[in-house]
Every structure is written in C-alpha cells, then in structure tokens.
Structure 1
Amino acid sequence: MDSESESRLYIGNLDHRVTESNLIKMFTPFGKIVSEDFLWHTQGPKRGVPRGYAFIQFCTNKEAKEAKINMNGRMACGRPLVVRFASEKNIREVKNPTIGASCSSNYSTNRVKTIAAIKSKLRSLEEEENKNSKKPKNS
C-alpha cells in the first residue's frame, strides 16, 4: 500500500445533503476505499450537521489520482466538488499567496466601513429621537 498522504484525498465543498453513503458510492468506481472520514459538527447549534468536507483513503496512489482527476469539479447536489490530495495546500495559497491577504484586507476595510455607516445611522436616529422628545407637546 502507498503511503497514506499519497493515497488520501480531501473532498470539499460538500452540500449538507451529501451523505457518507453517497460519498462512498461516488468514489468506489475508482478503487478500493481503505478508510473514509466524514466530518460532522460535534458541538454548538450545528451539532450533527455535516462540516462540508471529508477524507477518503484509497488503497493505492494510482486509484486516488484517478479519483481526483475524475471527481474534482464534478457536480454533487448542485455544487462542484473540490478534490485534492490531503497533503496538498490550498491551490489558491500556493499559486498566489497575496490573494488571501488582499481578500482579507478588503474584507476588513469593507467591514470597517459598514460598521462606521451603522454607527452613523444610529447617531442620526438618536439625534432625531432627541429632537422629537424636546418638542413641546400641544394639548
């Protein structure tokens, strides 16, 4: 048997409707599955809900490679599967490490602007409320 890292696949972007049984049925045609780890939330409000990814280990690297080639991008419950060797880094991180940084900095900038806008709106509502409460009431 090949080393575990060369025959173990990460399967991501799984819809919550995909079951362990579905996953095994989808990947069995490519070879003998030695193990399957379907991950679930174990605590909190999502307890018992699938995490959206799993790991499948094949008997050989050749089987795993064939499954990766054939299943990566294949649609399952309306979502494209992400299939890669478990030992591989995220493709986006490997190809361009600055993408993640720019996305997070854009996210932070947008978040700061959104918070500032909300605070401004709250201030204007409070000022309007104060003006309305100071007006003399006509009886």
Structure 2
Amino acid sequence: MACTLLLSSRKDLNGMSNETSDRRIYVGNIDHRISEATLLKMFSPFGKIESEDFLLHTRGPKRGEPRGFAFVQYSTKEEARLAKEKMHGRLACGRPLVVRLANEKSAAETVESSSKVAGVVSRSIHSGNSSGQMSRSAKIAAIKNKLKVLEDDGSRAKKQKQVEHYSS
C-alpha cells in the first residue's frame, strides 16, 4: 500500500472533499494493540471499504506507533451509517470505540486536525500518489479557522459577562 497525504483542492469545512465526507467514518479510542489489518476486519462486515487511513506518529519517541484513531471510507453513505450505528461504543481490547461520520467533527477538532495535516501518514487502498507537505493555502486556511473559533469563543464569554453584570 502506498503512503499518501490526503489533500484535495475541493474541500468542505472539515477538510474533506464533498464527495467523500458522507461515506467516511472516524474511528477513535483505538487501543495501540489493534493493527491496521484488525481494524479492516472489524469494519468490513458493514460494506465495501474503499480506503482507510490508519494514522501513525511520524516523529518523536512514538514514531511509527498508532495514534489511536483512523478513518474508513465506504462505497456508500448507508454502509458508513451502518458501521457507525453498529460499532460506536463497542469494546475493542477493553476500550469503547468512538465511531462517527467524519463530517460530524466539532469545530475545535477540525482546527486541531487541519493544523496537523502535514504530519499525518495516510494509507489508501486505491490511491498510489503522494503529495508531500501541506500547501501554503491550506496552512493559511487552518490558521483562519482557528482564529474564527477563538473569536467565537471570546465573543460568547464577553456576552455572558454582560448578561451577568446586568442581571445582578
């Protein structure tokens, strides 16, 4: 399998192409003893898996070790929803799996993951091309998203203080 860095020119707010986000699931809280092959065996009963991204640490003392989460892309959105329904909360090596549609990520997770995209190792079943570092425009977009989240959080806190001041 070829290692690739997933970057698409047409992305939604979560950093995924619009055509695949509804067929792609996030699988989190994966025990480090679960291999890529085991993950595929666990999720293949729910439909045809087109690709999977089993994320590994790319530097530091944990280099090459699993990061504890992955993405699985099915051929249809129905298969992805079925996998989410059947596998969310299911115990694997004593840990409950967190499974959700990839486009259901919160804004804070989106900012965090988009700023770390350059360090992600992605393995794709069908894709054989690699694209190197994250583009400058993608980095700028990640910073803008992070600033927007911070501004939104700051304005909510300010409004809350005003409400508390006027109500006392």
What is the TM-score with the length of structure 1 in the denominator?
0.63
Alpha-carbon distance between aligned partners in 1 of 2:41 and 2:19, rounded to the nearest angstrom: 24
**Runs (5+) with no aligned partner, structure 1:** 94-100, 102-139
- Name the counterpart of 1:19: 35
Give runs of aligned pairs for residues 1-139 of structure 1, distance below 5 A: 3-90=19-106
**Runs (5+) with no aligned partner, structure 2:** 1-17, 110-152, 154-168
Alpha-carbon distance between aligned partners in 2 of 1:89 and 1:45, rounded to the nearest angstrom: 28
Alpha-carbon distance between aligned partners in 2 of 1:13 and 1:89, rounded to the nearest angstrom: 15
- Name the counterpart of 1:114: none
Q: Which runs of 4+ in 1 moved over 4 A?
A: none
Alpha-carbon distance between aligned partners in 1 of 2:105 and 2:31, rounded to the nearest angstrom: 22
Alpha-carbon distance between aligned partners in 1 of 2:44 and 2:19, rounded to the nearest angstrom: 19
Displacement of 1:72: 0.3
Aligned-pair Cα RMSD in Å = 2.1
- Amino acid of the residue matched to residue 3 of structure 1? E
- Amino acid of the residue matched to residue 77 of structure 2? N
Task: Report % sequence identity.
Answer: 63
Displacement of 1:13: 0.3
Number of aligned residue pairs: 93
Displacement of 1:28: 0.4
- Amino acid of the residue matched to residue 60 of structure 1? T
Alpha-carbon distance between aligned partners in 1 of 2:33 and 2:48, rounded to the nearest angstrom: 24
Alpha-carbon distance between aligned partners in 2 of 1:3 and 1:61, rounded to the nearest angstrom: 10
Q: Which has the higher helix share?
A: 1
Displacement of 1:40: 0.3
CA deviation digits over 1:57-88, x for unaligned, max 9?
00000000000000000000110000001111
CA deviation digits over 1:106-139, x for unaligned, max 9?
xxxxxxxxxxxxxxxxxxxxxxxxxxxxxxxxxx
What is the TM-score with the length of structure 2 in the denominator?
0.52
- Amino acid of the residue matched to residue 75 of structure 2? C
Displacement of 1:89: 2.1
Alpha-carbon distance between aligned partners in 2 of 1:12 and 1:19, rounded to the nearest angstrom: 13
- Name the counterpart of 2:150: none
